[in-house]
Structure 1
Amino acid sequence: MKHIPNGKYKPYPKIDLPDRTWPDNTITKAPRWCSVDLRDGNQALINPMDMNKKLELFALLLKLGFKEIEVGFPSASKIEHDFLRKLVDDNLIPDDVTVQVLVQAREHLIAKTFKALRGVKKATVHLYNSTSIAQRKIVFSKTQEEIIQLALDGVDLVKKYEADHDGKIFLEYSPESFTGTELEFAARISNEVTARWGIADDRQVIINLPATVEMATPNIYADQVEWMSRHLDNRKNVIISTHTHNDRGTSIAATELALLAGADRVEGTLLSNGERTGNVDIITLALNMTTQGIESGLDFSDVNEVVEVVEKVTELPTHPRHPYVGELVYTAFSGSHQDAINKGLAYQQAKEDPFWEVPYLPIDPADVGRTYESIIRINSQSGKGGVAYILEKNYGYQLPKAMHPEIGRAVQALSDEKGRELEPEEILQVFKDTYFNINEHISFKDVSLTSDNGTSKCVLTYSYNGKEVTSEGEGNGPIDACKNALMKEYNHDFTIKSYSEHSCGDKSTAKAVAYIEIQSKEVLSCFGVGADNDITVASIKAMFCALNRAFS
């Protein structure tokens, strides 16, 4: 880039961890999940949530299965305090759910926090102070020892108020801006915090390692987490938690690699809401695990409801390409994609093995509350298979494969003309206009058929160039007999190249649909479609349709 002086930006130093183990590990189970939508997500909103929105989002989080929810910063504002009291006073916190509150290491704030927590059976007090080099130097002008003392003073105050609290209190400590902190100092302050708390088998501590600002590649974060895991005292009683932001666009990868490196817990938000580029998206993380056969412990079987509620309470739109939940993520416009998906869905339905094997779809849309009908959509980039898929899935027309290019061209021409995606109803109308609403130089009127010793005989009535004609013919089947009857006066020689048929609609009202492909010296291939309650009549109508399309 122009005008950036040398040395303005520097590469993040690598971690000295030559025997790192995380690259050989595999995620085999879900972490403990903690939603921070109501705190971290809320503080990043243009219009912070009011009481009703907070309650609606809290109810959604419970429905999704979250057992740890950071409900706010009750010492920071009246709405945060009142919301927590509403949850307690109205008995809205299930017994198996732990609410979490954030607080700084100041006595009046901690006192107010415990006042808000009165009556809560299980709560995590999330204590934090910034430890990074830049924050110590630029913001606080404090030494490492002063930063440690600030954290320890906070722990002492939490213990002081814990003693009078009628319920279980857990401690979480975050060396905020962890990714900008020297690892030795991060370990030192974390160990002094856990020791002061009195860590034990029945008194575990959450040490949260936030990528408050994402500063390096995900592998660096994984190295930091593994290094910390090795240097935290009484590791078996430390719950290592991650809290990644998305400044570099890799919060998902950073979190997944951190789980490989030994992290036990994940803090994040739904749809990645949060400061700047957002927090890590728990929906994506959880569904990534689902696609690997891991039970996430969260229920995202109706992502449409999740998106609807989150958009409502945050007043933020969801990108149409957002993983798993965006409007277009289960949609294919590309012709080759459409063809592969169409074949994959047919293959999936035909086989007994439930293993999901559909090209371009890493998860079954039905598992997250989406429908197959929205997978293939049509624009000027779409292919022939996509049009056939829409006509079959939405309207029951099972077009023969050889016919796909013909109808595909007609639909693509309309999309080019309109310059936009076509709706299924518009595609159906193109199909009808191409095969049913056509100009006729020859029109079918009536037919009577008999059969004798394998030979079909017919009396065919049709209108040709304004004159009604009745002609007899015979052949090895009804269509052949009608063709032979027709050719006595019809002056375009042709052969029937292919034929197929199927029923369309419910059994009680099903119509027969027939497709006939004809060929002549002038026309290599032209399809006709016919529909009727009688399959033979449908076939004859299809032949007349093909003639009108080929020779009009």
Structure 2
Amino acid sequence: MKTVQRYQKGYFLPPQTDWSWIRQEYPQQAPHWCSVDLRDGNQALVTPMCLEEKIAFYQMLLRIGFKEIEVGFPAASETEYQFLRYLVTHDLIPEEVTIQVLTQARENIIKKTFAALKDVPRAVVHVYNSTSLAQRQQVFRKSRREVKELAVQGAELVREWAEKTAGNFRFEYSPESFTGTEPEYALEVCNAVLDVWQPSVERKAIINLPATVEMSLPHVFAAQVAYMSRYLHYREATVLSVHPHNDRGTGIAAAEMALLAGAERLEGTLFGNGERTGNVDLVTVAMNMKALGVATQLDFSFLPDIVSAYETLTRMTVPPRQPYAGKLVFAAFSGSHQDAIAKGMHFRREHPQAPWTCPYLYIDPQSVGRTYDADVIRINSQSGKGGVAFVLEEQYGLQIPKALREDFSYYIKGISDRQQRELQAAEIYQLFRQRYEPHSDGMYVESFAVHKTGNRWQAKAVLVYGAEKQVVEGVGNGQLQAITNGICAACGLDIADLVYSEHDLDGGTGSRGMAYIGITDKTGITAWGIGVDTDTMTAAVQAFTGAVQHHPVFSKQMSFQRRILSAIAVGGR
């Protein structure tokens, strides 16, 4: 028995292929955008939108900046009929906006469509019929000639009803299932329709090429578009449009290549909602163009609000990894990624006029209404020191020393790993304070005073531990050294190295100073402390006290009371 391969290519290459378009890097200008969310998108919903929901969605599309909006199939649904009438009678079609309606090439449907369009200020009447080989053979069982006659009759009926209906109309024709139609036949049908309409440069017709089913690699679809663009009649008076679907998952690539190949208009939906695998995602296409410097005329600067409204009105969800719109598309959990992003952000502050080239972030998240602190650096067990430091700097203004970053990042990674969850910025900040600030139940400095004698500083400090208070004294080359020498002598601390840094925390008069101190003993063990106060020396003393409290060796030594008694015996020096 002969074996027949089940799947074979169902598309047709044009008789002449022009590949010159592929030498372009990207479209130099944005297409005419047409949202079909209220028709193609709506018909794909489990529960189609009601009248109020459609109105709200329409208003959102206007806010984004769409100038062409397909509002429905008014002859197919009473809701869509009433929605169209509502827009017309309530004067909800702005002067620069053209609405679009869909109709099959059948007289009774065309008649009802124009009844819904009465008195419309501007509308595109979109008529279609299927032309593919599969549809001709299996669905309609009609010849090429008969299918072409259906298209011509539909074009004639649309023209006739437009002439006797009050309103301002333009025409659009789609050879549905274009991707499964022989290109030379699709061209023949489209040209026959254009011959009926005889468009002019002042009143252009639209020829729309739907990838009703995505059947080929994107470059093949683009080759088909290039062929149609070259041989269409009335080319200067015709807007060439494409309507990609996403059956192969390459709808965006197909749309972008089609625009290179001669298409001037793009029909699609927000986030790619549509029948089966969906339509082309206009958000992604537009943002891809914006990232290349093309002015799109669409505003997605409030994309989180758009996502929220879309999910409410359609009951669909935007996946977390959806390009540009998903909740996690800017999130970096990897330590190396976070470190590169943090350094890229610092570069941006140093060079605010430089083009956007931040590592791992294709676009600036703020361009679509996202924030660096909540959306970019996310902290879990995979995160690194750069990410943790970035979160604390962005949210709380902390400029943590490099060595302290490493110490704290391992601490945070351990907590996240044990709890198996992401840590939020507020949690991280609280953990930072708990780990490095001096605790009230440990030794702390109640007060101190310093003065200079010759080239040396002398300090006197009141130490508190529990119910005990003692005065200690110290001498040093600087004020902080004098204080720390006194504390170390009183407590018997043997410090091999001390690292200190500070910065302004708030800016302006009365700003607080933030101090960081790391102390290392003779064995090489380091502990860190932090302090914050409007007086920088007070902040530094707090930081030193925190480091002493948190050093594992010092915390296991004899009690403070014994140290104080020893200090008193030797005079605290």
TM-score by length of 1: 0.95
Instruction: Indicate the SS of the match to 1:186.
Output: helix
What is aligned with 1:404? 405
How far residue 506 of structure 1 moved from its aligned partner, in angstroms, is 6.0
Structure 2 CA distance for partners of 1:231 and 1:63, relative to 1, 3 Å = same
Instruction: Give the structure 2 partner of residue 511 of structure 1.
Output: 512
Pairwise mapping of residues 250-399 of structure 1 onto structure 2 (< 5 A)? 250-374=250-374, 375-399=376-400
Listed one character per residue, the Cα deviations across residues 354-395 of structure 1 (whole Å, up to 9, x for unaligned) are: 411211112212222222222211111111111111112112
Equivalent residue for 2:428? 427
Q: Is the 8 A contact 2:70 2:100 kept in 1?
A: yes
2:177–2:213 CA contact under 8 A, matched in 1: yes
- 1:7 correspondence with 2:5: yes
Distance 1:440 1:210, change over 3 A: same
Q: Distance in 2 between matches of 1:160 and 1:441?
A: 92
Residue 23 to residue 178, structure 1, CA distance change in 2 (3 Å): same
1:484 and 1:205 map into 2 onto residues whose CA distance is 87
Q: Give the drift of 1:526.
A: 2.4
**1:43-54 superposed matches below 5 A:** 43-54=43-54
Q: Which deviates more, 71-80 or 390-399?
A: 390-399
Q: Which residue of 1 aligns with 2:567?
A: none
Give the Cα–Cα distance (whole angstroms) in 2 for the partners of residues 441 and 72 of structure 1.
72
**Do structure 1's residue 20 and structure 2's residue 16 form an aligned pair?**
no
Alignment of 1:78-227 (within 5 A): 78-227=78-227
Once residues 95 and 443 of structure 1 are traced to their aligned partners in structure 2, the CA distance between those partners, rounded to angstroms, is 72
User: Aligned letter for 1:505?
Assistant: D
Equivalent-residue separation in structure 1 for 2:408 and 2:489 (angstroms): 31
Range 237-246 or range 480-489, more displaced:
480-489
Closer, same or farther: CA 17–486 of 1 in aligned 2, 3 Å: farther
Q: How far off is 1:466 after superposition?
A: 7.8
Distance 1:387 1:189, change over 3 A: same
- Tell me by how many angstroms 1:244 deviates: 0.6
Match of 2:559 in 1: none
State the distance in 2 between where 1:18 and 1:205 align.
25
Q: Which amino acid aligns with 2:237?
A: N
Counterpart in the other structure of 2:241: 241
Which deviates more, 189-198 or 165-174?
165-174
Deviates more, 1:7-16 or 1:396-405: 7-16
**Aligned position for 1:494:** 495
* Aligned equivalents of 2:537, 2:462: Cα separation in 1: 15
SS of residue matched to 2:538? helix
Aligned partner letter, 2:447:
D
Amino acid at match of 2:136: R
Q: Deviations over 1:419-472 (max 9, x none)?
A: 111111211121122112658664333211112344221012324698644322
Give the Å deviation of 1:62. Answer: 1.2
* Structure 2: gaps spanning 5 or more residues: 556-573
> Does the 8 A contact of 2:474 with 2:482 survive in 1?
yes
Deviations 1:222-247 (CA, angstroms, capped at 9, x unpaired): 11111111221222222110101111
Matches within 5 A, 1:440-519: 442-463=443-464, 468-505=469-506, 507=508, 510-519=511-520
The residue type equivalent to 2:5 in the other structure is G
Alignment partners' CA distance in 2, 1:542 and 1:437: 7
CA contact (8 A) 2:17 2:227 kept: no
Partner of 2:231: 231
Cα deviation digits, residues 513-548 of structure 1 (max 9, x gap): 210122222234322112223211211221121122
Change in 2 beyond 3 A, CA 1:53/1:454? farther
- The answer to whether the 8 Å contact 1:41/1:274 transfers is yes
Q: CA deviation at 1:488?
A: 2.5
Other structure's SS at 2:71 match? strand
SS of residue paired to 1:328: coil
Q: Which amino acid aligns with 1:537?
A: T
Give the conservation status (yes or no) of the 8 Å contact 1:446–1:461: yes
Q: CA deviation at 1:6?
A: 6.0
Check the 8 A contact 2:11/2:182 in 1, yes or no: no
Secondary structure of the 2:489 match is: coil
Query: Shift of residue 76 of structure 1?
Result: 0.6
Q: Deviations over 1:145-183 (max 9, x none)?
A: 110000011011111111112332211111101111111
Size of the aligned set, in residue pairs, is: 548
Are 1:84 and 1:117, in contact at CA under 8 Å, matched by a contact in 2? yes
Following TM superposition, by how much is the alpha carbon of 1:511 offset from its aligned partner in structure 2, in angstroms?
A: 2.4
In the TM superposition, residue 140 of structure 1 has moved relative to its aligned partner by 1.0
Aligned residue in 1 for 2:571: none
The alignment status of 1:523 with 2:524, answered yes or no, reads: yes
Distance in structure 1 (CA, Å) of the matches to 2:236 and 2:458? 89
Structure 1: how far apart are the matches of 2:81 and 2:447?
Answer: 82
Structure-1 separation of matches of 2:334 and 2:470: 48
User: Could you give the per-residue CA deviations for residues 326-357 of structure 1, whole angstroms, max 9, x where no partner exists?
Assistant: 11122211111111111111111221424112
Q: Which amino acid aligns with 2:22?
A: P
Q: Distance in 1 between matches of 2:93 and 2:76?
A: 21
Amino acid in structure 1 at the alignment position of 2:425: P
Give per-residue Cα distances to partners, 1:238-262, cap 9 Å, x unaligned: 2110101111111111100100001
TM-score, normalised relative to structure 2: 0.92
Structure 1 residue 491: Cα displacement? 2.7
Bigger CA drift: 281-290 or 147-156? 281-290
Contact 1:496-1:516 within 8 A present in 2 as well: no
In structure 1, the residue matched to 2:564 is none
The answer on whether the counterparts of 1:528 and 1:543 sit within 8 Å (CA) in structure 2 is yes
Q: Is the 8 A contact 1:229 1:235 kept in 2?
A: yes
Which residue of 1 is the match for residue 30 of structure 2?
A: 30
CA contact (8 A) 1:440 1:548 kept: no
Distance of 1:60 and 1:345 partners within structure 2:
32
Shift of 1:412: 1.2
Aligned partners of 1:40, 1:101: CA distance in 2, in Å? Answer: 11
Name the amino acid aligned to 2:528: F
* Contact 2:75–2:109 (CA under 8 A) maintained in structure 1: yes
d(CA) in 2 for partners of 1:147 and 1:477? 95
Aligned partners of 1:94 and 1:309: how far apart in 2? 21
Percent sequence identity over matched residues? Answer: 45
Measured in 2, the distance between the counterparts of 1:215 and 1:510 equals 64
Output the amino acid matched with 1:29: Q
**Are the equivalent residues in 1 in contact too, given 2:515–2:543 (CA < 8 A)?**
yes
Structure 1: 5+ residue stretches without partners: none
Query: What letter matches 2:124 in structure 1?
Result: T
Letter in 1 for 2:7: Y
Contact 1:410/1:430 (CA < 8 Å) preserved in 2? no
Cα displacement (A) at 1:14? 7.2
Show CA shifts across 1:9-39 (max 9, x none): 1246673655411111231101001110110
Judge which range, 67-76 or 227-236, deviates more: 227-236
The DSSP-based 3-state class of the residue aligned with 2:490 is coil
